[in-house]
Structure 1
Amino acid sequence: MSTDAPVPNLSHLPPEMLDFTLSKTFGALAPRLGRLTLPGRKPLLTPDFLGNTSRGAVPHISQDIYRSRANLGGVYIALEDFVEKHPQKIPPVLQYDVPEPLRRFIALPDAALLVLGARRMPPLPTPMSNTNSEVALQTSVGFKTISLEYYAAAARKLQPDIVIGLADIPFGQESVSTKRKDKMSDRTEAWMRDIIAKRNGIDKGERRFNIFAPFLPLDKDLQQWYLEHLVDEMADHISGIAIYDAYLLDDLPEELHKLPRLSLHPPASPQELLRQISLGMDIFTIPFVNEATDAGIALDFTFPAPEPREDTKTSRRSLGIDMWQPEHATSLIPLSTGTSCSCYACSHHHRAYLQHLLNAKEMLGWVLLQLHNHAILSSFFAGVRASISASTFAADVAAFEAYYEPQLPEKTGQGPRVRGYQFRSQDHAKGEKKNPKAYSKDLEGKVKTVKVFAAHGQEPKEKPETRNLIDDEALEGLVDLENLRLEDGNGNGKGELELEDDENGRASSSSS
């Protein structure tokens, strides 16, 4: 991603003025190059992507790391990440009385583009349904609905750069009746009218936000009435289109082709991402990059694809490297060798160290993976823009699909701990715990036994090849613990420390 260009001086323009210029296009349904500029922000060269966030932050990347190491031109923020369940409680972000409170609340750099939507990407289904005046959300503490007035007021208060208009989409439903589809179109049209009116009613001198209109995942005839009103009455008041089904772009009215297109259709792989780009999509939210990081997978692809070697022409190359595999335990090569990745992780660390961090459940492991995966994706989009500029995109896509596997590697290891709102609603009814126990303790009366596992996060019985690497080294610091006395607050002995052998369960202990 090219975000190192200087911030344009557009201070003479109103703060809400978004400008999108197409520099190269081949038609209505074809790849295209564009430049999105906003006063005070770095220009976004398209096609490009936004960082997908959770609770206002790109997962595993803190705000200081974002500023110093991440190469992102902007982020997508979901309002449901900040809304409380109880209506009588005002979310803390709405109590922050400073200019651009959302940007300050999440410590986002001034140069980064800030896009606000109602739902996360991808959104999780809710047991509550939308109504004519309210949209169902899944907050961090439960389900609730918000009205259009609440959404518009929050957008006015938080002052993002771009707000995605509310869309009536029943996420998670496999089949939707024709009557329900008619409601989707009617409600979305009414909600768009209202949010435009409320944005235009903001006092002069107060910062306004740009509006991206939803393009529903419906056939053209089922949303024709909404699209006609969008073109005839609202086109002058919107700055872009938010598209929920990229493969319906052929139904987008010609009058809206000049506007930037934000894809809210999550691609499952780089190949699907290329197919969306080939249809003329400009900006993306890409959940699979976070999913790969959580799974311990280091992305390893480049665009255009390298020339295949003679000994590898018969098989396709994987799109990523599973860092949980045992062959990486002693590997001293960078995360990515097939691509010339210059990210911080590849420049300073090797695979053995990263696997050690993952096995030890050290969050630094996922930080390094996330930095690497975003760097791979940024380089991917830079190659896409260069290919479109050289008019070789179609041939490069064919070569990419022939060179790489069609899907990302399957997850084999355990990811980081997850929060409740990262599960689908039906998963909350299950009795089992979402995360395994991090520690093992036995409490029997006054006798306290602490089990110490000397394995750096690995269990020899699960990975026999690591047994000889961890036995003496891991126990070296425990030698002096044999005489450790466990005491309560009054200095009385409480029990014994037990050192347990992972494999055979044999124990040696020293009584207090």
Structure 2
Amino acid sequence: MSPLKFQIHSSTTESNYTARRGTLSIVNASQSGHNATKRVIETPGCFMHSIKGSAPHLTPDNMRLQDFGGMNVSLEQLLQMDQPATFSSKWPSKSFTLSDYLYLQDFILLCDLRDYSSISSSLTTSSYQLGSAMNRIGPNTDRHVNLSTPKGVRPLTLDDYLSVAQQFRPDIMVALADNIVESNHSTNQKTEGDAKKEKKSNGSKGDGDEKRVRKSIDRSLKWLDQILLERQGRDGRFEDRKAEEEKKRKKEKKEKIRQAKQQQQEQEQNQEQSQQDQQVDEDAPVKVQEVETESWQEVALFAHVQGGQFTEERIRSAEETSKREDVDGFIVNLGFYSDSEGEKGERLTRLKTSVDHLLTEKPRMVYGIQTPEDVLKAVALGVDLFDTSYPYILTEEGKASMYYFGPISTTTTPTSNTNDRWINLWDDEHGDKFVPILEGCECYSCKGGRHTRAYINHLLKAHEMLATVLLMSHNLYQYSKFFAAIREAVKAGTLDQYTKAFEQQFGVEPVRTGEKHKAQIAVEEALTKRNQRLGPAEPAVVEAIGSADDKNQNAKKRLDGERGESEKETKRQKKDGTEEIS
């Protein structure tokens, strides 16, 4: 029985809206202690975005002040090169889980292969994301997927995945899937003219891409079936081993035929005998025994829903995945993020296609939907779960959230041409503003007026870590309040009304160019100069005090001289002692 419980409490009654409000919880009867007091995720809601299992910029105590019930961790960030082979020798015990390792026992832990929220994002240029998400890691195969780990690219086979799932045992494990990361990226890099040439009447971008997408879906569904069997304690690799044995048999047959032809030239009798032996082996049935496996049904399982830009493949992936009754939830894959309105509209169309063919009683999660206005549109389509990568992106850029969801404010003039959703605390104008980031905000940074805009502006320009800590605390808090207001709107039936009010008040997210604030550039340049090694000294200085090489040579001569004097003294003492004895 699945440990995951998803309950839908209410849904919107507005036309063309399928938004719903519910709760997601984990009930593990087989585990006791702290695991029995896990948080609950209210939906629509979020899993906290993490880097290597930790919320960016936050200490554990500050992280627990946030009103989020789950954490999303990436396997490629955590898995060591010697794992899973060393689990038996280096992992503390079989009962020691990933939640224990990360000290996240009170959070619902979701473990996926990659950090798809970073891969889906073009909103930030952090070194980690550029190194991990944009690296070319090679194509996946029928035997493995490639992961970009901190120590390089490594393949992860189905056997490796099953070993990791049995040992880590997170609350929710995401099934192994052949997601086409590079293909999506390369598609977005094409010019508009190239895309039009490749488009067909059904909206596809070429038979080659469609064949690859179809193959990835088939491969993912096969892995999903095998994982579901293994999760029940049954042998999911039986058919694979049988196919490998048949392949081995065919290879041996070819080798025997080759040997028979070679022997035919030497002796006719040997050739006939070889053919008889070959016939006996060929008629023998392939025997493969089932292997007993360990059940891990206390771990919930989510599955990826794919299909790229192809409507028929998206429908097929959604329907086939929904047929697997033991799947506990769905993750809709949308590919790379884009700021352009055309790309956003296309992504939402893909999302609707997938969601419309998924089971309604199971939770739906999506990667790549980050900005508040896109979240509102996705919620209206029936999406339940997101991640908190958007607050992280704002924090990295030195920005503080100012948006809210609800009735239009009477103190401001509604407009879609200005950006009132955040302020950039790198701006000099905040250097003398001794007021909280947002009046009335109850986050750790704003509450009681303990930290002001001027103070955070100073911290940013001084390159102090506390700046990002305060910004992350504020941005996460505002994001959680944004989702709480969405849930109330779904309950009250005012989602459509407040969504229109939000669009009037805050417009759309400004297109990001990737350029940093000039003050941030100046600070980083100063840090680079500070950290660089000192250049060669002026000739006059070298002549006056000597170069480093001269000092080293002089020190060596001095040590050699002292060592020589010491040896002479030792010899003299020995000689004096010998003369006294004689």
Which band: TM-score by shorter chain?
0.7 to 0.9
CA 1:374–1:311 in structure 2 vs 1: closer, same or farther (change >3 Å)?
A: closer
| 2:72 aligned counterpart, secondary structure | strand
Three-state SS of the structure 1 residue aligned to 2:446 is helix
Letter in 1 for 2:300: N
Instruction: Give the count of matched residue pairs.
Output: 416
- After the TM superposition, which of the residue ranges 436-445 and 175-184 deviates more from structure 2? 436-445
Aligned with residue 97 of structure 1, among 77, 93, 98: 93
1:242 aligned to 2:331?
yes
d(CA) in 1 for partners of 2:141, 2:438: 49
Question: Is the alpha carbon distance of 1:98 and 1:331 closer, same or farther for their aligned partners in structure 2, counting shifts above 3 Å?
Answer: farther
Question: For residue 31 of structure 1, what is the aligned residue in structure 2?
Answer: 19
Q: What is the aligned-residue identity percentage?
A: 24
Is the counterpart of residue 56 in structure 1 residue 56 in structure 2? Answer: no
Structure 1 or 2: larger helix share? 2
Give runs of aligned pairs for residues 109-258 of structure 1, distance below 5 A: 110-120=105-115, 121-123=117-119, 124-125=133-134, 126-173=136-183, 174-175=186-187, 177-201=209-233, 208-218=298-308, 219-223=310-314, 226-232=317-323, 234-235=324-325, 237-245=326-334, 247-248=349-350, 249-252=352-355, 256-258=359-361
Whether contact under 8 Å (2:5, 2:24) holds in the other structure is yes
Residues of 2 paired with 1:409 and 1:330: CA distance?
28
Aligned counterpart, 1:266: 369
Letter of the 2:331 counterpart: A
Instruction: Please report the TM-score for the alignment, with normalisation by the length of structure 1.
Output: 0.73
Q: Which piece of structure 1 moves more, 134-143 or 24-33?
A: 24-33
Aligned-partner Cα distance in 2 for 1:94–1:51: 29
Deviations along 1:328-359, one digit per CA (max 9) or x if unpaired, are: 1111011123xx31101012200111111111
Deviation (angstroms), 1:440: 5.0
What is the match of residue 374 of structure 1?
476
* Secondary structure class of the residue paired with 1:436: helix
TM-align CA RMSD: 3.3
The AA in structure 1 aligned to 2:41 is L
Aligned mates of 2:47, 2:86 — CA distance in 1: 28
Q: Give the 3-state SS of the residue equivalent to 1:172 in structure 2.
A: helix
Distance, in Å, in 1 between the alignment partners of 2:523 and 2:333 is 30
Q: From the superposition, tell whether residues 332 and 365 of structure 1 become closer, same or farther in structure 2 (CA, over 3 Å).
A: same
AA of the residue aligned to 2:391: V
Match of 1:442 in 2: 534
Tell me the equivalent position of 1:500: none
Corresponding residue of 2:558? none
Moved more, 99-108 or 89-98: 89-98
**Greater fraction strand:** 1
Gaps of 5+ in 2: 28-35, 120-132, 188-207, 235-292, 335-347, 542-550, 556-582
Q: Is the 8 A contact 1:266 1:287 kept in 2?
A: no
Which residue in the other structure is 1:496 paired with? none
Q: Which has the higher contact order (CA 8 A, sep 6+)?
A: 2
Q: Deviations over 1:463-498 (max 9, x none)?
A: xxxxxxxxxxxxxxxxxxxxxxxxx99xx9xxxxxx
Whether 1:276 aligns to 2:401 is: no
What is the alpha-carbon distance in structure 1 between the residues aligned to residue 45 and residue 102 of structure 2?
22
Q: Which amino acid aligns with 1:367?
A: V
> Is the CA contact (8 Å cut-off) linking 2:75 and 2:113 kept in structure 1?
yes
The 2-side partners of 1:195 and 1:436 are apart by 49
Q: In structure 2, how many angstroms separate the alpha carbons of the residues matched to 1:168 and 1:417?
A: 42
| Corresponding residue for residue 128 of structure 2 | none
Retained in 2: the 8 A contact 1:47–1:282?
Answer: yes
Q: Give yes or no for contact 1:77–1:115 (8 Å, CA) kept in 2.
A: yes
Of 64, 70, 74, 2:66 maps to 70
C-alpha separation in 2, matches of 1:262 and 1:416: 40
Secondary structure of 1:301's aligned partner: coil
Report the equivalent of 2:123.
Answer: none
Shift of 1:93: 12
Q: Name 2:7's counterpart in structure 1.
A: 21
When Rg is computed on C-alpha atoms for both structures, the one with the higher figure is: 2
Q: Aligned pair 1:414/2:520, yes or no? A: yes
Retained in 2: the 8 A contact 1:94–1:158?
no
CA 1:400–1:78 in 2, change beyond 3 Å: closer, same or farther? Answer: same
Q: 1:187: Cα distance to partner? A: 0.5
One-letter amino acid matched to 1:383: A
In the superposition, relative to structure 1, how do residues 181 and 142 fare at CA in structure 2: closer, same or farther (>3 Å)? same
Q: Is the 1:71–1:378 Cα contact (8 Å) retained in structure 2?
A: yes
1:329-348 superposed matches below 5 A = 329-337=431-439, 340-347=440-447, 348=450
Using the alignment, how far apart are the partners of 1:37 and 1:217 within structure 2? 29
The answer on whether the counterparts of 2:23 and 2:40 sit within 8 Å (CA) in structure 1 is yes
Change (3 A) 1:89 1:328: farther
Question: Structure 1's 333 and 98: CA in aligned 2 closer, same or farther, altered over 3 A?
Answer: farther
Report whether the alignment pairs 1:350 with 2:444. no
The one-letter code matched in structure 2 to 1:130 is N
CA displacement, residues 63-84 of structure 1 (integer Å, 9 cap, x when unaligned): 23223x3332111000000123
**Contact 2:306/2:318 (<8 A) preserved:** no
- 5+ residue gaps, structure 1: 1-13, 419-432, 450-487, 493-512
Q: Following the alignment from structure 2 to structure 1, what is the Cα–Cα distance between the partners of residues 182 and 470?
A: 33
Shift of 1:303: 0.7
What letter matches 2:75 in structure 1?
A: L
Give the structure 2 partner of residue 5 of structure 1. none
Residues 178, 216 of structure 2: 8 Å contact kept: yes
Q: Which residue of the other structure, out of 68, 73, 79, is the alignment partner of 2:75? A: 79
Letter in 2 for 1:360: A
- Verify the 8 A CA contact 1:316 1:402 in the aligned structure 2: no
Cα displacement (A) at 1:294: 0.7
Question: Secondary structure, in 3 states, of the residue corresponding to 2:445?
Answer: helix
Deviates more, 1:160-169 or 1:308-317: 308-317
Alpha-carbon contact 2:66-2:476 (below 8 Å) kept: yes
The structure-2 alpha-carbon separation of the partners of 1:415 and 1:169, relative to structure 1 and needing over 3 Å to count, comes to: farther
The question of whether the paired residues in 2 share the 8 Å contact of 1:333 and 1:350 is answered with yes
C-alpha spacing 1:397/1:49, structure 2 compared with 1 (3 Å)? same
Q: Which amino acid aligns with 2:180?
A: P
Paired residue secondary structure (1:135): strand
Q: Secondary structure at the match of 1:34?
A: strand
Q: What corresponds to 2:564 in structure 1? A: none
Find the aligned partners of 1:205 and 1:31 in 2 and give their Cα distance: 35
User: Structure 1 328/186 Cα, relative in aligned 2: closer, same or farther at 3 Å?
Assistant: same
Q: Flag the 1:200–1:362 CA change in 2: closer, same or farther, 3 A.
A: same
206-215 or 86-95, larger mean C-alpha shift: 86-95
Is the partner of 1:406 in helix, strand or coil?
Answer: coil
**Structure 1 residue matching 2:148: 3-state secondary structure:** strand
Is the CA contact 2:315–2:357 (under 8 Å) kept in the aligned structure 1?
A: no
- The range that moved more, 281-290 or 435-444, is 435-444
1:229: how far off? 4.0
Instruction: Give 1:379 deviation, angstroms.
Output: 0.5
